[in-house]
Amino acid sequence: MFASDVAVVPREGEYKIKTVDLSLNYGATTALKRINLGIGAGEITALIGPSGCGKSSFLRSLNRMNDLIPAARFKGQIFFDGQDINSPRTDVVELRRRVGMVFQRPNPFPMSIFDNVAYGPRIHGMRSKQLLQSKVEEVLRAAALWDEVKTKLRHSALELSGGQQQRLCIARALAVDPEVLLMDEPASALDPISTAKVEELCTKLAKRYTIVIVTHNLQQAARISVRTAFFLNGELVEAGDTEGIFTNPQDKRTEDYITGRFG
Amino acid sequence: MVRNGFRSELDELQEDILKMGTKVETIIYESLKSLANGDLEMAKRLIAEDDAIDRMELEIEKKCLTMLALQAPLAGDLRVVGTALKLITDLERMADHAADIAKVTIRLDGQALIKPLIDLPRMAELARGMLRDALWAFTNRDAMVAMKVIRQDDEVDSLYKQVFRELLVLMIEETKNINQATQLLFVAHRLERIADHATNLGEWVHYMVTGVRKPLRASGVNPV
């Protein structure tokens, strides 16, 4: 089955993001082949697949992070709330505000916890100290970190544990009021307790944000996502309800991957 | 991520289920034999055999739970382990019913039978055939054979109705038949239940193969 034949699951009109025949090359290397995938609004969509399958390339395409790679060449379209994000009229800074990103390794700035979170709002013009304070508290609470850091907001963010740093990065992403959060293996560098906290946080945030998460941890995808998309060799092999993908996948390649027969 | 160790654990699980299923098939056959021959020694042995089957269930259950905890199986593998957990429950109940039939042999204590046993062995033979087919379908991942098992339940149900009517007539005709006829009716009911459990096996194997769990027969209303 070719990617363009894959039925996307959410109903038309419920997509926050939709790709149409999205292909991506890095020079001579093909990273994505005609991907048609809808990302449901207010849901967690997990992207799974072996290393090099294209899932992170797909994720980075959604807020044009691949623009930073000179050899990257696109074909096809990506619609965000119905607008083609690759159109010349798109304000990339505004796009990345609306489509935030959390990376695999926590990457707090070498500054205080407060300043890490306030960084984005300041860049976007928020000057009032009172507003900044209230925004920092709001998003640290949303990221389930407030109680742990409220007495040390002026301390360096680098003093926090790995799990706390990752939640801080999530808070930092939330501080600019995004609509979508892209997460590239956000818990892969964390211990099981911190992982559980990040997963719980994702589930909580999904009530308000659309989340797309790349993960190598199949159990994590099964636990937190509503939809799952399986990528292989740059193709979207299968996308559907997570329950269906993990109990009764329709494509043998999906079955073989998630049951550990290859990968 | 290729998990050869887990693959061999799944093969072992399949073998365990087959061993348990074969034991259950034997105990069903022998329970009827003990009844037909009034063989009290065999009946006692079968009751002890049921305990061994109970232990097998516990061992397989433990293996399945360990696999779920340590291997976190998914997709087809998850359905195999989930189905195995359900199969052993039904197999254990089938053996319980066979042991109950052996207990009837003991209660009748060698008395001459009020009628030759014809339909009861037929019911037992059908139920055993269903069990054999379910195990075959399980081993060979065959949804068609699993469906055949499910359909065969109707034949056992209609034999049960027939036996019920026949024994009722014998009781009406002669009140001294009541005690034994009631016992034989009990046997027929156990066999009907054994077939119901075999049907469950068929339904679970069908799910395991197709991934679709849906009602495949009318609700289990008592056929009489």
A 222-261 residues inside an 8 A Cβ radius of B: 222, 245-249, 254-255, 258-261
Please tell me which of A63-67, B13-17, B66-70 the model is most confident about, judged by mean pLDDT: B13-17
Percentage, residues of chain A above pLDDT 70: 95
Whether A68 maps to a domain, the answer reads: yes
Q: Does A46 touch chain B (CB under 8 A)?
A: no
Query: pLDDT band for position A232 (50/70/90)?
Result: very high
Whether A5 maps to a domain, the answer reads: no
For residues B49 and A260, what is the distance between their CA atoms, to the nearest angstrom? 39
* Residue A253 contacts residue A235 (beta carbons within 8 Å): no
Q: What is the pLDDT of residue B1?
A: 47
Query: pLDDT band for position A253 (50/70/90)?
Result: very high
pLDDT at A13 over 80: no
Report helix, strand or coil for A35. strand
Q: What is the pLDDT of residue A8?
A: 46
- Cα distances (Å, whole numbers) of residue A173 to A21, A202, A205, B212: 29, 13, 12, 41
Q: Which of A258, A262, A263 sits opposite B74 (nearest CB)?
A: A258
φ, ψ for residue A165 (rounded to 5)? -60, -40
A181 bridge partner residues: A100, A211
Alpha carbons within 13 A on the beta-carbon side of B114 = 20
Query: pLDDT band for position A11 (50/70/90)?
Result: low
Average pLDDT of the residues in A21-50: 95
* Residue A16 contacts residue A22 (beta carbons within 8 Å): no
Contacts of A83 (CB under 8 A, 6+ apart): A90
In this predicted model, what pLDDT tens digit does every residue of B82-108 receive, in sequence order? Answer: 999 999 999 999 999 999 999 999 999
- The count of structural domains within chain A is 1
pTM of the model: 0.82
In this predicted model, what pLDDT tens digit does every residue of A81-126 receive, in sequence order? Answer: 999 999 989 999 999 999 999 998 899 999 999 999 999 999 989 9
**Which of B2, B74, B206 has the highest number of chain A CBs within 10 A, making it the mutation to test binding with A?**
B74
For residues A91 and A63, what is the distance between their CA atoms, to the nearest angstrom? 11
CA A194 to chain centre: 18
Contacts of A104 (CB under 8 A, 6+ apart): A184, A185, A186, A188, A189
In this predicted model, what pLDDT tens digit does every residue of B23-75 receive, in sequence order? Answer: 999 999 999 999 999 999 999 999 999 999 999 999 999 999 999 999 899 99
Whether A247 maps to a domain, the answer reads: yes
Contacts of A143 (CB under 8 A, 6+ apart): A167, A168, A170, A171, A174, A201
Whether A40 maps to a domain, the answer reads: yes
Report chain B residues whose CB lies below 8 A from the CB of A262: 1-2
Cβ separation A259–B79 shorter than 8 A? no
Query: pLDDT band for position B3 (50/70/90)?
Result: confident
Token code pair at residue B208: 């395991």
Query: pLDDT band for position A2 (50/70/90)?
Result: very low
For residues A39 and A18, what is the distance between their CA atoms, to the nearest angstrom? 6
SS3 percent helix, strand, coil of chain B, rounded to 5, is 85, 0, 15
Whether A3 maps to a domain, the answer reads: no
Cβ separation A247–B6 shorter than 8 A? no
Return mean pLDDT, chain A. Answer: 91
pLDDT at B213 over 50: yes
Give the domain range for residue A242.
14-84+93-258
In this predicted model, what pLDDT tens digit does every residue of B161-194 receive, in sequence order? Answer: 999 999 999 999 999 999 999 999 999 999 999 9
What CATH number should be reported for the domain holding residue A150? 3.40.50.300
For residues B143 and B138, what is the distance between their CA atoms, to the nearest angstrom? 9
Token code pair at residue A136: 């920092």
Average pLDDT of the residues in B134-159: 96
For A44-109, the three-class secondary structure string (H helix, E strand, C coil) is EEEEECCCCCCHHHHHHHCCCHHHHCCCEEEEEEEEECCEECCCCCCCHHHHHHHEEEECCCCCCC
Whether A254 maps to a domain, the answer reads: yes
Which residues of B sit within 8 Å Cβ distance of A?
Answer: 1-3, 6, 72-79, 210-212
Return mean pLDDT, chain B. Answer: 93
Q: What is the pLDDT of residue B217?
A: 67
Residue ranges of domains in chain B, CATH in brackets: 2-210 (1.20.58.220)
pLDDT at B2 over 90: no
Q: Which of B2, B75, B78 sits opposite A262 (nearest CB)?
A: B2
